[in-house]
Structure 1
Amino acid sequence: MTEDYAASVRGEPIPKARVSAFLNAGGTVPFRGAGNCATSHDDAAHARQHIAALSARAERQRRRWATQVIITDELARRACVARRLAPPGDVLPMQLLTVPETDVADLGSIVAAALAHSPAARALLADLEREQHIPETAVRDYYERNRDRFLTPDALRRGVDPYDEPAPADIQPYEDVRNGITQQLRGAAARRAFFDWLDRARADVVYAEGHEHPGDPSHPDHEHRH
């Protein structure tokens, strides 16, 4: 691998330019936990060095994070070809999209950003969702265990406490919510399948120095974030 490449997938290099273009286009999720830049040291020069070191560390982590987003897009594009899905369009960056905080919390920043920016990743996730079969027993079980989520609009207006054994009439009938539950469970199963696929697919990736996974403990700046 030459110095112009961030990583390679099965021997095929991924140029650093793709990572830089993604970052320059604004494709980033701020890393949390960098710490407060204030310092109690009286030595102003030492304080400036400390702040510069934190800034450099954050920049390295942004680069590693962006590499993972690009790699996810590249792997998804290959998976779409293997599955004979419609061509996913141009390579990243496509357009600037906001990544919802809820998606970051549920999926981790790397996968959330990949799904937001990569048509190939979204196409693959949709294909995985079509493959998921949710048994009727699982749907019924979810309904029975989460009655608090299915109060009728009238019960909500009256302020019925969902945890205080609401009357049967205050709960939406199973038949009315069955399809929604099925879709919710199918989406969750598809996301788990996507994570499983990504873990297997990344085994074929070799990273250049400075472009490792941000959670890779082999480099000193690692942070366990997804």
Structure 2
Amino acid sequence: MPDGAAAFVHGDALSSARVDAFLEVVPPRDRETRPESLARAERQRRRWATQVVVADELARRACAERGLKPPEEVRPAQVLAVAEEDVADLGSIVAAVLAHSPAARVLLAELEGEQHVSESAVRDYYDRNRDRFLTHDALRRGVDPFGGPFSGPFDEDGSSSDFLPYADVHEGIAHELRRAAGRRAFFAWLDHARTKVVYADGHEHPGDPSHPDHEHRH
């Protein structure tokens, strides 16, 4: 590994300066006071940041291969906010990648647009998640969406006045399922793309058990 490289990305050296630049706009996650604890936290923060920068580089290459042109990147004074919900759903690395990398966001949108959601999948989601489609009045009355009592029998299309009509929520369900499928495709792409990345010492994945400080958290 040449001096100044954080990793080899498909045979090309990725400069540790890009990791340093990212670290400058990301506040530390830990508030350690003991020197040894602070040093360990900073080592892990660098490994975490390397993963974000590597994913950004991989996304740039994937966009180039697909003929996609991400918007010009403007380096922020502080890293874009990452929603707690995204951290919980995606993990801190992928959530930070999508907040930091225009290329990753463009690629995710492209992958999401490629997903096909069948009518049967939308209907199945509606039928299995009745609790999400109760009307405000039904919620106020404490209607049990899976066991009644309902204000009337189901119609032939499965509707009831206790529930939002299927036609009204169809597009929202399809969008949600397409978004989830796009995220799964993004995860699959990233897992595959990272298989040929080689990391310099001190830049490994923070959960890599080959180094003594390893940990895995969100």
TM-score norm. by structure 1 comes to 0.85
Aligned to 2:65: 82
Cα 1:166/1:61, change in 2 over 3 Å: farther
Contact 1:76 1:120 in 2 (8 A): yes
Cα 1:27/1:137, change in 2 over 3 Å: farther
Cα 1:219/1:203, change in 2 over 3 Å: same
Report the Cα offset of residue 179 of structure 1. Answer: 0.8
Distance 1:102 1:166 in 2: 33
Distance 2:170 2:99 in 1: 28
> Is 2:119 aligned against 1:127?
no
Letter in 2 for 1:22: F
Report the Cα offset of residue 163 of structure 1. Answer: 5.0
Letter in 2 for 1:213: H
Contact 2:26 2:78 in 1 (8 A): no
1:197-218 residue CA offsets vs partner (Å, 9 max, x unmatched)? 0000001211000000111111
Distance 2:77 2:191 in 1: 24
Letter in 2 for 1:19: V
Aligned to 2:4: 4
Report the Cα offset of residue 162 of structure 1. Answer: 3.8
Letter in 2 for 1:6: A
Distance 1:12 1:92 in 2: 23
> Is 2:165 aligned against 1:173?
yes
1:49-92 residue CA offsets vs partner (Å, 9 max, x unmatched)? xx222111111000000000001110001000111112342386
Letter in 2 for 1:9: V
- Runs of 5+ unmatched residues, structure 1: 38-47
Aligned to 1:17: 17
What is the count of residue pairs matched by the alignment? 209
Report the Cα offset of residue 13 of structure 1. Answer: 1.1
SS of the residue 1:178 aligns to: helix
Distance 1:113 1:155 in 2: 39
SS of the residue 1:102 aligns to: helix
Cα 1:224/1:191, change in 2 over 3 Å: same
Contact 2:70 2:102 in 1 (8 A): no
Contact 2:207 2:216 in 1 (8 A): yes
Aligned to 1:116: 99
Letter in 2 for 1:181: I
- Runs of 5+ unmatched residues, structure 2: 151-159
TM-score norm. by structure 2 comes to 0.88
Distance 2:162 2:197 in 1: 53
SS of the residue 1:169 aligns to: coil
Contact 2:7 2:198 in 1 (8 A): yes
Distance 1:205 1:76 in 2: 13
SS of the residue 1:170 aligns to: coil
Distance 1:13 1:91 in 2: 23
Alignment root-mean-square deviation, CA? 2.1
For 1:36-75, what aligned pairs fall within 5 Å after superposition? Answer: 51-75=34-58
